[in-house]
Structure 1
């Protein structure tokens, strides 16, 4: 039987970046149930980096990821908009990030979004927001794993895992293996992987998020930022070729699955956009859905299970898994290897992400 120090279940951005950090220090395998890694949440991301996205518990991981993400980022900017009745929400948003170092400015939103309806008078601009080249980031992480001698098993759905003789005996559809440590980076399937290993689940819930690619009249203006409703009922951003990506910011609880968009969600998104801007939708060119998976308190989970010490959680990244991936991977690797945290993440308290909070 093939033996590894570490087996990581899940080849999306969480598993890939963690594997890239661990591979120089341990023999490891990434077990991926699909025929291509990153098929679900990673491959269907809206692909932007925003320091405010996810709230103040996520911001330190996002900001600490900026340096490593720099080669994959392209400036975008984000404009958070509201109407008169949203003044308290705008104030609360600014207060949340006061003192964090995140740059935020009150602005008149109409200057940045042609056709913005007149009731949308409130705006906060976040200049650091950027596009992420997710495909390149993910591929480079897997490349680092391979160069360090790590293995990637595709079409390897986990059937069971059990502790035998101080190691995990793991059965997959690609064959059996053994590992000293089992890492659960399975995204929407994280609780199912835990159950297959005899570990109590912690309540990782997948939610469907819908995105549509549109052509509009007028087309998005060059240099237009990501536009986000302060109430998080929609967001849209310009894409290449004068196209627009639009989401109703939906979060529909679902079982782990190959998510598909619902026509109603696309219609809701268009209706919400048209209430914000005086644009005509010319065509809906594409529509898709992905899964965002949250722990009960909406914070990610990094650390050894409090009851099963050789089972390590790397799950619950919600919709911010890609933008936090570099710092999160280094934090998780330090916990798994029992090493001091790097200087640029030393200020991040791992206890707020520990699975012990669910014990």
Structure 2
């Protein structure tokens, strides 16, 4: 294996894999991954949906620009989304609809009859809702494997069980020592390490920018009657839950965000109970059994926008992190943007300025 590369990417989850594929043959690239396989942490634990409003107006340009690519690749299946509001939250639902309509997202307001037609056995008290017809499910596993395959076809190397142990900055770039003791050289170091982004920055002698991991819990339920296959993604305007069908079962989250150290996240019993309690306040679907539970880490910068670009202090260090829970649905556009910045190219469908590291001081 050649020990000299133009670019070394730390992390082989969706972020690192998609960026490597977007760079393609334009540079000699190595992707290093600390785990036994790519995508073990956040990528492998996604709730797997694409919703243009999810993540807020700052993330929406990346999500919307990714949609046509995901559709062309066959990675999307129509789902729709319904964001629910209680009595007294009508103005919040209307403001939600107005905000996203203003930036080109299709949103329809629903009355109680429209809500009941889409969410069977909806309990009393939920009186208003917004429908997003464009929302889809994402085939996360296939998308990740597609990017890994595209990178491999371009000659990009992937090394698993290769945690970054040391990084020494030199005039010509970087000398990187991996956990197995081997060293590689790189002109540019890319931090696509997800929850480990700030620790990787410290290893590289860079200023951390406050990327914080948060635990998110998901449970799989069998309910009576079986979940209808055309049930929309159902969200709470107050951010208290979301749930969606998955192969006759229900995936449910209390939309929790608990600060965490970077780790192999596991669900807490309290969060599982909270998810079920909130679900039972929304619909009258008896729960037959709790089949599965898991947790993943969503990593945010302080302003909750992704961080894409070269560090202000070092033109050989590149941030590609802070995607929160939106890294899957924004992957195609984010990867194109990141590759363009790395290659010094202009143009593209998304303005990189809102995501520049310099904004964080």
Q: Does TM, normalized by the shorter one, top 0.5?
A: yes
The alignment partner of 1:97 has SS state of: helix
Are 2:321 and 1:310 equivalent residues in the alignment?
no
Q: Secondary structure at the match of 2:101?
A: coil
Map of 2:106 onto structure 1:
103
Q: CA deviation at 1:95?
A: 2.3
Name 1:58's counterpart in structure 2: 59
- Structure 1 residue ranges, 4+ long, deviating more than 4 angstroms after superposition: none
**Structure 1 residue 63, shift from structure 2 partner:** 0.5
1:212 maps to 219
Shift of 1:349: 2.1
* Contact 1:89 1:231 (8 Å CA) reproduced: no
Conservation of the 8 A alpha-carbon contact between 1:31 and 1:156: yes
3-state SS of the aligned residue for 2:338?
helix
Cα displacement (A) at 1:96: 1.7
Counterparts of 1:355 and 1:88, CA distance in 2: 35
Aligned to 1:28: 29
Partner of 1:197: 204
- CA deviations on 1:238-296 (whole Å, 9 max, x unpaired) are 111x2100000000000000000011101100000100111111100000000000000
Unaligned runs of 5+ in 1: none
Distance (whole Å) between structure 1 residues aligned to residue 107 and residue 99 of structure 2:
11
Any idea what the Cα deviations from partners look like across 1:289-338, whole Å, max 9, x if unmatched? 00000000000000000001100000000000000000001011111110
Deviation per CA, 1:209-257: give whole Å up to 9, x if none. Answer: 00000001122123111110111100110111x2100000000000000
**In the TM superposition, what are the counterparts of 1:166-205 in structure 2 within 5 Å?**
166-174=172-180, 175-205=182-212
Report the TM-score, using the length of structure 2 for normalisation.
Answer: 0.96
Residues 1:159 and 2:165 are matched in the alignment? yes
The answer to whether 1:228 aligns with 2:235 is yes
Question: How do 1:332-343 and structure 2 match up within 5 A?
Answer: 332-342=338-348
C-alpha contact 2:309 2:356 (8 A) present in aligned 1: yes
Among 283, 293, 297, the alignment partner of 2:299 is 293
Q: Does residue 356 of structure 1 match 2:352?
A: no
2:6 equivalent to 1:5: yes
Aligned mates of 2:116, 2:256 — CA distance in 1:
25
Shift of 1:92: 2.0
2:16/2:192 contact within 8 Å kept: yes
Give the 3-state SS of the residue equivalent to 1:65 in structure 2.
helix
State the aligned residue count. Answer: 354
1:243-322 map, 5 Å: 243-322=249-328
Tell me how far apart the structure 2 counterparts of residues 121 and 221 of structure 1 sit (CA, whole Å): 22
- Maintained 8 Å contact 1:331/1:341: no
Q: Compute the RMSD of aligned alpha carbons.
A: 1.0
Q: Which residue of 2 aligns with 1:14?
A: 15
**Partner secondary structure for residue 24 of structure 1:** helix
- Match of 1:80, SS? strand
- Looking at structure 2, the residues matched to 45 and 209 of structure 1 have their Cα atoms a distance apart, in angstroms, of 10
Once residues 331 and 322 of structure 1 are traced to their aligned partners in structure 2, the CA distance between those partners, rounded to angstroms, is 15
Alignment deviations for residues 49-101 of structure 1 (CA, whole Å, 9 cap, x no partner)? 00000011111100100111111001111011111121222122112212222
Q: 2: distance between equivalents of 1:199 and 1:85?
A: 48
Q: Is residue 29–residue 156 contact of structure 2 (8 Å, CA) maintained in 1?
A: yes
The alignment's TM-score, normalised by the length of structure 1, stands at 0.97
Q: Secondary structure at the match of 2:56?
A: coil
Any unmatched runs of 5+ in structure 2?
Answer: none
What is the alpha-carbon distance in structure 2 between the residues aligned to residue 78 and residue 98 of structure 1?
A: 15
Partner of 2:246: 239
| Residues 97 and 109 in structure 2, CA contact (< 8 A), matched pair in contact too | no
Query: How far apart, in 2, do the equivalents of 1:187 and 1:312 lie?
Result: 13
Aligned residue in 2 for 1:94: 97
